[in-house]
């Protein structure tokens, strides 16, 4: 579940920014986007957290902030490093299924490549050797030619990899500390993508629907 919660935060932030829009049900839901349908999970966990938070301090903590904090805690509880999560994000009012159909490809940025190391898949673990630990075995598997998805293996073996991502995969394979440090930097950067603040958006009472 840890990898799934990290993935929810990732897929939320790269569509409309970190606004919790991936959690919305209904027409045009991002859950139905190509990058999420039949693969994104953990929504029930976020619901449980939101209910507990609302019972203690209603209308204070947004669903977007819960996603960010849940991702951080998932990394920490799996053996990765912690970081300070800036809070104050507000929740978006509309989903963007088109954006969810066009999530960034692995080659598009250093941050995307780094966060791939912590991503997860609904039906199988992408890290063969340490499925419950947050470490650099994802990159070791790529070098061994054991990436379970072609979209992962191309980071090391693809035609474009030699001039783009291969050296980074090799660096993370050889230096787990470098990967862990870079992952934290990437998560902080990603968590700051276009947050709604001030009077923009809202703080949802239920993460699945906008307030009435």
- Give the domain ranges of the chain: 2-191
131 pLDDT band, cuts 50/70/90, is low
Average pLDDT, integer, range 66-87: 97
Q: Is 17 annotated as a binding residue?
A: yes
Confidence of residue 126 (pLDDT cuts 50, 70, 90): very low
120 marked ligand binding residue: no
Active-site positions read 11
DSSP structure class, residue 120: -
CA distances to 34, 83, 101, 208 from 97, in Å: 8, 30, 6, 15
Q: What does the pLDDT average to over 185-189? A: 96
Specify the pLDDT at position 149: 78
**Does the CA dihedral 90-66-117-159 come out positive or negative?**
negative
Is 91 labeled as ligand-binding?
no
At 31, list the tokens.
Answer: 């859950």
Residue range 1-53, pLDDT digits in tens: 999 999 999 999 999 999 999 999 999 999 999 989 999 999 999 999 999 99
The arithmetic mean of pLDDT across residues 94-99, rounded, is: 96
pTM (2 d.p.): 0.86
pLDDT at 108 over 60: no
| Residue 104 counted as an annotated binding residue | yes
Cα separation, 45 vs 55, in Å, equals 16
CATH topology of domain 2-191: Peroxidase; domain 1 (1.10.520)
Total Cβ atoms within 10 A of residue 110: 13
Q: ∠ at Cα 26 (23, 27), nearest 5°?
A: 120
Q: Which distant-in-sequence residues (6+ apart) come within 8 Å of 39 by Cβ? A: 121, 122, 123
């Amino acid at each position: 579940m840890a990898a799934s919660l990290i993935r929810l935060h990732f897929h939320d932030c790269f569509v409309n920014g970190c606004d919790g829009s991936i959690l919305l049900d209904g027409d045009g839901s991002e859950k139905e986007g190509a990058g999420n349908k039949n693969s994104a999970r953990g929504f029930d966990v976020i619901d449980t957290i939101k209910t507990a938070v609302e019972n203690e301090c209603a209308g204070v903590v947004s669903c977007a902030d819960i996603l960010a904090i849940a991702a951080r805690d998932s990394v920490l509880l799996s053996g990765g490093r912690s970081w300070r999560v800036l809070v104050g994000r507000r929740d978006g009012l509309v989903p963007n299924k088109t954006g969810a159909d066009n999530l960034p490809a692995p080659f598009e940025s250093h941050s995307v490549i780094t966060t791939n190391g912590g991503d997860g898949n609904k039906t199988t673990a992408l890290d063969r050797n340490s499925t419950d630990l947050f470490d650099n075995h994802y990159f070791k598997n790529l070098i061994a030619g054991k990436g379970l998805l072609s979209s992962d293996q191309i980071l090391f073996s693809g035609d474009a990899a030699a001039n783009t991502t291969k050296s980074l995969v090799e660096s993370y394979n050889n230096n787990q500390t470098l990967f862990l440090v870079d992952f934290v930097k990437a998560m902080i950067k990603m968590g700051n993508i276009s947050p709604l603040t001030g009077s923009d958006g809202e703080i949802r009472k239920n993460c699945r629907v906008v307030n009435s």
